[in-house]
Each structure stands twice: as C-alpha cells, then as structure tokens.
C-alpha cells in the first residue's frame, strides 16, 4: 500500500469525529449537508422503491456514523450489513441501532424519506424496520483486496457506497482498485449503487480538512466499465447556487450511479 494511502487511513481513525460530521445531517442547518442529503435521498428512494432494486443482502461500504443511505433500501432488502473503517464511526452507528441515549437524532431525515414514500407518519416504524434489518456493523477497508476480511459473508445482491470512495481513495488507481475489491462482495449480475460528489478536493469535519479524490463523470464511468460493471443509470445535479459560499466542501455537482456486475 502506498504511504499516502496508509497515512490517510490513520488520519480517519484519529481525526474523524462522528458527532461533528453528523452536523451535516441536521436538516436546515447546513446548506452543503442539505444539498447532498436531499439529492441522495431522492435518488436512493427512486432506486429502491417498489419495482426497483431488491433482494436478500445489501452491504453498505463506508457507512460512517450514518443511516440516511439505508432508509429506502431497508424496505426492499431482507438484510443490510453496514461497514466502516473507523472504530468511532462503527460505535456511533451501533449507538443509534441499539437506541443508546445520546445517539444522533435521525428522525427529521427518516420523516422526510417516509414523506417520499407517501406516509410521513410511519417514521417510527421505519426506524424499527431499519434497526431490525441491519444485522451487523463490520470493519471495512476498501484498499484491501478483501475489504471485509476476516468476515466471510454470502455474496450480496447489492453493494451501496455513499460519499465514501472519493474520501477513502486518494489516487485514481486506488479508486479503480477499490471498485475491483468491492466487486468481490457482489454476486454476478448484482448491483452497485454509488453516490458522491464531482470535483471534490476536500470536506471539513469541524476544523479538520479531509482530502478527497476529485472525480469526473468520465473517469467514474470508465473506472466502473474497466472494473467489470455495466452502467444502468447515472443521475447528476449541479451544486445548489446558494451553497457556493459555504466553505465546508468544494464539490461542484452530485451524482448517483447504478451499475450491474457483468459476471
């Protein structure tokens, strides 16, 4: 592993503060957070709603301390396995799953997704459903050939990764390698759903700056194709003009891509 990559990993373990990061997901309080969140929630809803992607097992790669990305998928997958590189993120996620006092309040986000699904009032049921559906929170490193080792899992019907790969992979080669690594978790013809930002060089977590690999649409599409995927859907939206003065991150657009493992 290149020095730059291993340094980046230690940086996450040491400096990524889950509760500070979660400020992005306090709806109405972070222009950048809202911009990313509304885009991703809308598209995950479209991808996982009735008639969309479904199956037995979904693995979420680099979940962080977050659950927003699983709120639609938990209606169409029997089991979800969440993963992250840092111990603090996995603990923070477990805190919400186990309803431990002091856990982040996701209820405004859950209510919004329930509204997209047609019934805002069922938010408490959805929280319980998600808690039942997420069966494990595992250690993950996308830079490893087997990202979840030593865990041995059945092949997933779907792998999801939201705002993770551009943070976890700081070179184009590392990004391509991570796609190949993640592919090993997916059954043939299974689906990969990636959500992220274009052109991001950094995002802030409190006063700490986290570097990112600036992605371009052409690079992401070529990397997926070369890693054995066929792109089925690509949605993009430019960053909202009113967020431009927010210096929390410098992404220029958001994207969600759905790709199918070829064989």
Cβ at position 68, least distance to ligand SAM in Å: 7
Q: Which is nearer to ligand SAM, 62 or 190 (CB)?
A: 62
Cβ at position 69, least distance to ligand SAM in Å: 6
Q: Which is nearer to ligand SAM, 122 or 240 (CB)?
A: 240
Q: Which is nearer to ligand SAM, 122 or 204 (CB)?
A: 204
Cβ at position 130, least distance to ligand SAM in Å: 15
Across-strand partners of 82?
A: 60, 137
Q: Where are the beta strands (DSSP E) in 173-239?
A: 186-198, 202-205, 208-211, 229-238
d(CA 202, CA 170): 11
Q: Which is nearer to ligand SAM, 122 or 246 (CB)?
A: 246
Does residue 236 have a cis peptide bond before it, meaning omega lies within 30 degrees of 0? no
Q: Which is nearer to ligand SAM, 122 or 214 (CB)?
A: 214
Short-list 222, 138, 204, 217, CA closest to 167: 204
Cβ at position 16, least distance to ligand SAM in Å: 5
How far lies 55's CA from each of 37, 73, 153, 194, 232, in Å? 24, 10, 15, 17, 17
Q: Which is nearer to ligand SAM, 162 or 260 (CB)?
A: 162
Nearest residue to ligand SAM, using CB? 64
d(CA 181, CA 196): 18
d(CA 228, CA 231): 10
Cβ at position 70, least distance to ligand SAM in Å: 10
Give the interface with ligand SAM as residue ranges (CB under 6 A). Answer: 9, 12, 16, 62-64, 66, 69, 84-86, 89, 140-143, 162-164, 167-168
Token pair belonging to 260: 């199918």
Cβ at position 237, least distance to ligand SAM in Å: 16
β-bridge pairing 253-261 and 229-238: antiparallel
């Amino acid at each position: 592993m290149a020095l730059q990559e291993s340094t980046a990993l230690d940086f996450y373990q040491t400096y990524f503060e889950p509760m500070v990061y979660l400020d992005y997901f306090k709806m109405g309080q972070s222009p950048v957070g809202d911009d990313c969140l509304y885009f991703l929630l809308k598209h995950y809803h479209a991808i996982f709603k009735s008639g969309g992607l479904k199956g037995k097992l979904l693995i979420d790669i680099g979940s962080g301390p977050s659950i927003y990305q699983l709120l639609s998928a938990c209606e169409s997958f029997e089991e979800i396995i969440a993963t992250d590189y840092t111990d603090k993120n996995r603990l923070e996620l477990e805190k919400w799953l186990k309803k431990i006092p002091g856990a982040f309040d996701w209820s405004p986000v859950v209510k919004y997704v329930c509204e997209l699904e047609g019934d805002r009032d069922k938010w408490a049921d959805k929280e319980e459903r998600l808690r039942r559906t997420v069966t494990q929170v595992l250690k993950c490193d996308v830079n490893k050939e087997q990202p979840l080792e030593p865990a041995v899992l059945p092949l997933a019907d779907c792998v999801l990764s939201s705002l993770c790969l551009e943070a976890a992979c700081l070179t184009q080669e590392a990004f391509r390698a991570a796609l190949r690594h993640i592919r090993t978790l997916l059954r043939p013809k299974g689906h990969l759903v990636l959500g992220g930002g274009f052109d991001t060089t950094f995002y802030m977590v409190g006063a700490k700056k986290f570097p990112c690999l600036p992605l371009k649409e052409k690079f992401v599409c070529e990397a997926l194709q070369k890693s054995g995927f066929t792109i089925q859907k690509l949605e993009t939206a430019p960053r909202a003009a009113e967020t431009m003065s927010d210096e929390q991150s410098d992404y220029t657009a958001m994207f969600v891509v759905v790709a199918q493992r070829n064989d």
